[in-house]
Amino acid sequence: MDEEQDQWIRVPVGDDAARWATRVRCRRVLFVVHNVTSATRLLDVLPLFHDDLGVQLLATCTGSSAFRSGVADLLADTGLPVLPWEQSLATPVDLAISASFGGELGAIQGPLIILSHGIGYTKRLATPSTEHRAPSTEHRAPSSDAATLSRSAPPPVFGLAPDWLLADGVPLADALVLSHPEQFERLAAACPEALPTAVLAGDPCFDRMLAARPYRDRFRRALGVGRGQRLVLLNSTWSPRSLLGDGNGEEAGGGDDALPALLPRLASELPADEYRVAAVLHPNIWHGHGPGQIRAWLDRAGRAGLALIDPLEDWRQALLAADVVIGDHGSVTYYAAALGTPVLLGAAPLDSLDPDAPIADFIRTAPGLDARAPLRGQVDALIESHIPQPGPMRFTSSVPGEAAVRLRRAFYGLMAAPEPPGPALLLPLPLPDPEPALRTAPLYVLTRVLAGPEVIVTRYADPAREPAGAGDAHLAVHEDTRDPGQLGLADVVFRNGAPDDPRFGPPGRWAAEVLDRHPHCALAAYVTGPSSCVVRTRDGALLRLTAGAEADADPAVYASAVHAWLAAGRTLAALVEDGLTVRTGSTDHHVVVAAEADGPTTGGTRQRPSPTPADRNTAHANGADTPRAGRRSPRTGS
């Protein structure tokens, strides 16, 4: 015990804390963290204690979760004093706040309030061990013995059963926060002894999303969603029966491994410039398997443009920005439905849910993803015909916008302390860091050249099969592609970088080197910013492409349009004189084309000076220096 106590903190709590602390008469509020998932809900309510000089905030981790990774870093980021669990049990506090039932919560010396870390209590979970009050609260599938018993008696609902709520027949918590009266009804039926502790206080997580709705367009821009694009958000809770789960464990009851088939379909069926694809994965996936493993599993999808959303900071913003969610039976998918976002269910294990919970009704009625039908048709049809169900919005919180006021009142009531004089306010959702869609996987590009000048461009990032569609095809490859062999096949080679990056030299020089290095390449493009790029053609012309004020496509698509224009035998003079309209889907992007001053090149074949329009027309008539027509079936691979 003495060795354990060597790890105990001495300030602002401890045997001699009064000797070292500056404020010694503060009430103590202890945040009890089970894992990263539960900690996110505690972070939602932490600001309710801001500006109260009479409160000392503390944190601890129960150590009872299987998902311990990430907790220490998260607690360190809060900047709060962190007590070892044994010290937290030995330290009297004025209030303890938990968002889970894990750990020996009954041994805490002070009033205890428990919040939900999802949309109320909805999932079934096998009865915890009765040998100690430290059940693991992961919603895992029951063991084989428990599964045998469950055939006659299904597992109780986590958070609403006596096994979770009572200790020696007495409620474990002094207050149990619920978000809707329907939860009171289920609690009364399952554990009437705990009903007097129930407090209707809404959902602070949902309230933060509701307050951020006016900033949806900002969130979309931050996530790299352009005009005319649709954001398809993949969402998975954890467990073998989730969207990411392989569904093949005996404990999971079998099922399909959906994601390996879904990911290549996203690339093959959804044009890269018309759809942005992102994924929100449960923190238990990240911290159970490891962030490096998640990135390894999804590496090819990431190089094709899949954005992995931070599961702690940015998932709510992504949910607000989404046009459609492909999800499962987890809380985040239900939040999407509550926000009115169309949902396609890629996994839906009803037997793991409380049949009386609203989410079970939603899972029964929501459309499911058809693995045999075209994906784009399903996505577009759902978005265009969607009528939000009223249930998810109604049952997520019966008091939307009131969680801050109600929770602070409950917290200070349990401490028998007056609330601070200012209003109870949650923090607004922060604007995510910009995350443009950087695709280093080869791009299969279909083009149709119209008069105007105008070019219709449809790009697919690393499709598993040749996409359907009319037009000439060419291959565009990022210089940082994982498969350098693709550069030798590319019609267009491009990269992103600052125009003054000394590693590459001026964009014109870089482009000349690329054309010398890859004889098959007809055009090299250096993307210098979100709206511009510098391109060099095989005949030596150096051009700057600059999008108009409303254009927001990937500038590499403008380079492909120029290549298609020249491959069709059209002239640069028309582009320089009239500019270029590039159409992706139903969106037009107006691009100014200007001749760029050419500096000296180094190495390789010296580039010829750009010919005059008359010279170029003569050369094209003679068949010289004419860019090759696009190939119909460029070979792509990662």
CA distance 469 to 51: 60
Report the percentage of the chain scoring pLDDT > 90: 79
Residue 124 has what pLDDT? 82
Task: Indicate whether 300 pLDDT > 90.
Answer: yes
Residue 636 has what pLDDT? 40
Residue 451 has what pLDDT? 85
Residue 601 has what pLDDT? 53
Burial of 125 (0-12, 13-18, 19+ CB in 10 A): buried
Residue 518 has what pLDDT? 98
Mean pLDDT of 226-246: 95
Residue 619 has what pLDDT? 34
Model-wide pTM > 0.75: yes
pLDDT digits 0-9 by tens, 395-408:
999 999 999 999 99
Mean pLDDT of 50-70: 96
Residue 613 has what pLDDT? 35
- How many residues are there in the chain? 638
CA dihedral 544, 549, 550, 555 (to 10 degrees): 20
What domains are defined for the chain?
2-12+26-206+401-414 (3.40.50), 216-390 (3.40.50.12580), 443-621 (no CATH)
Residue 133 has what pLDDT? 46
Secondary structure (3-state) at 105: helix
From 14-18, 357-361, 602-606, 618-622, the region with the lowest mean pLDDT = 618-622
Residue 127 has what pLDDT? 52
Q: Please give the residue that has the higher pLDDT: either 141 or 185.
A: 185
Contacts of 17 (CB under 8 A, 6+ apart): 10, 11, 24
- What one-letter code names the amino acid at 492? V
CA distance 128 to 136: 7
Task: Indicate whether 144 pLDDT > 90.
Answer: no
pLDDT digits 0-9 by tens, 575-628:
999 999 999 999 999 999 999 988 765 444 344 333 333 333 333 333 333 334
Residue 327 has what pLDDT? 97
Residue 81 has what pLDDT? 98
Mean pLDDT of 256-267: 89
Residue whose token pair is 């009479």:
54
Rg (CA), the chain: 29
Task: Indicate whether 130 pLDDT > 70.
Answer: no
First to last CA, the chain: 56
Task: Evaluate whether 406 touches 201 at the Cβ level (below 8 Å).
Answer: yes
Residue 615 has what pLDDT? 38
Task: Indicate whether 275 pLDDT > 70.
Answer: yes
pLDDT digits 0-9 by tens, 431-458:
999 988 899 999 999 999 998 899 999 9
Q: Please give the residue that has the higher pLDDT: either 605 or 93.
A: 93
Task: Indicate whether 105 pLDDT > 90.
Answer: yes
- What one-letter code names the amino acid at 244? L
Residues in a beta bridge with 32: 60, 98
Task: Indicate whether 142 pLDDT > 50.
Answer: no
Residue 129 has what pLDDT? 52
Residue 487 has what pLDDT? 98
Task: Indicate whether 31 pLDDT > 50.
Answer: yes
Mean pLDDT of 281-309: 97
pLDDT digits 0-9 by tens, 451-504:
889 999 999 999 988 898 889 999 999 999 999 999 999 999 999 999 999 999
The tokens of 600 are what? 């000296």
CA distance 333 to 328: 6
Rounded mean pLDDT of the chain? 89
